[in-house]
Amino acid sequence: MTAATLQFVETADGPFAILADEADRVIVSGWTDDTDAVLARLRPDRRPAQVRDGQTSAADAVRAYYAGDIGAIDSVTVAQQGTPLQLAGWQALRAITPGTPLTYTGFATALGSPAAVRAAASICARNAVALFVPCHRVLRGDGTMGGFAWGTRVKESLLARESAA
């Protein structure tokens, strides 16, 4: 990839970074204002040669989400690269209904492999486009938060926002 556009959006959970490719597809997103942290979510061979500040179409969806339109993130186009299982998993994450999180076991079952809990957790951990591919909607088997690349405080906030909607 030759160039990408980086935009930061202020949210109730702190600054939200959106890195989009030349086709305006989100390739990385998350709660940070640190460009290096954004780029670190991509393998070195998949990082853009140039990052420029600018506007992305996904920013409007982030603002709408935080204004209460939880479904606004559903139509944002993302571009992720991974194994066939990862790609299927990321698509399945987008199908989880807001306000009804799954456990890692439930997510593994949704992928057709109930015993593949570690694989399900790995799919969540390798998701570079947080919020748009809502890995925050997957919890530990006991209902606790578990890990989240952007912190459990953000995960708790997102889940509370979605439950209230």
pLDDT tens digits, residue range 124-151? 999 999 999 999 999 998 888 888 999 9
Q: How far apart are CA 9 and CA 20, in angstroms?
A: 13
Contact 61, 76 (CB under 8 A): yes
Contact 137, 120 (CB under 8 A): no
The CATH code that applies to domain 84-164 is 1.10.10.10
Residues of the chain with CATH 3.30.160: 3-75
Residues of the chain with CATH 1.10.10.10: 84-164
Three-state secondary structure call for residue 97: coil
Q: How far apart are the first and last CA of the chain?
A: 38
Confidence check: pLDDT of 1 > 80:
no
Is the model more confident about 63 or about 116? 63
Catalytic residues: 135
Q: What is the pLDDT of residues 22-80, one digit of tens each?
A: 999 999 999 999 999 999 999 999 999 999 999 999 999 999 999 999 999 999 999 99
